[in-house]
Amino acid sequence: MSKPLTRILIADDHQALRQGVRTFLKTQDRWQIVAEASDGHDALKAARDTQPDIAILDYSLPLMNGLELTRALKQEFPRIEILIYTMHDREDLLVEVLRAGARGYVLKSDSGQHLQSAVEALSLRKPYFSAAISETLLDHYVKSSVAGSNVATLTPREREIVQLIAEGKINKQIAHLLDISVKTVGTHRAAAMHKLKLGTTAELVRYAVRNNIVEP
């Protein structure tokens, strides 16, 4: 029996952008675009009507912005996965939408491959952040950890590996990218996660949000 299609809602106030995202995602036959919206209110109504699995949201939506919409969607549909797809790379926005329940964040300036990878990850209920965003998240998380607690500082190699983990890479891929053995990757990964007192990427994200990775 084939798996059910992943149902996707796209919300962006620029029609050309919505069309581009729709065209790109429709190349995957396992994904179904069930609704589109140009503002936050219409997006919330469309979600109520179509029950999407994933909502791809611009941050700068009229009437109800991406943060407010994320909060509303997660309140009504706790299992929905939210991907913020935006031009904004500000740390405060990143942290706020993560607090609200988003588990994916990709910049519009990133390659289309990041958008595809994000949807693939979220369809498997895994978080996804493009390279620039995961670096921002990790930088502030590490700074907060060092400044505010007894969490040990990562070595440059551990930091590099944690960043790649946050980007969704598995040990074999990391080993290939860094030209080291899979066993060495595993050793560094275990050491880094032990220092940060974390076991998974999702825990890293939740911990970073709970501990205010961006200074007020």
Full DSSP string of 91-134: HHHHHHHHHHT--EEEETTS-HHHHHHHHHHHHTT--EE-HHHH
For residues 156 and 34, the model is more confident at 34
For residue 213, pLDDT over 50 is answered with: no
Residues 86-93, mean pLDDT to the nearest whole number: 82
For residue 35, pLDDT over 70 is answered with: yes
Backbone φ and ψ of 11, nearest 5°: -130, 115
In the chain, alpha helices (H): 15-25, 40-50, 66-76, 91-100, 112-123, 131-148, 156-166, 171-178, 182-195, 201-210
Q: Answer yes or no: CATH 3.40.50.2300 is held by domain 6-129.
A: yes
Asked, colleague to colleague, whether 6-129 and 133-210 share their fold, the answer is no
Can you give the pLDDT at residue 156?
A: 77
- What residue segments make up the domains of the chain, in order of their start? 6-129, 133-210
Give me the chain's average pLDDT, please: 82
Can you give the pLDDT at residue 215?
A: 35
CATH of domain 133-210: 1.10.10.10
pTM > 0.75? no
Can you give the pLDDT at residue 151?
A: 44
CA dist 25 and 17 (Å) reads: 12
For residue 49, pLDDT over 50 is answered with: yes
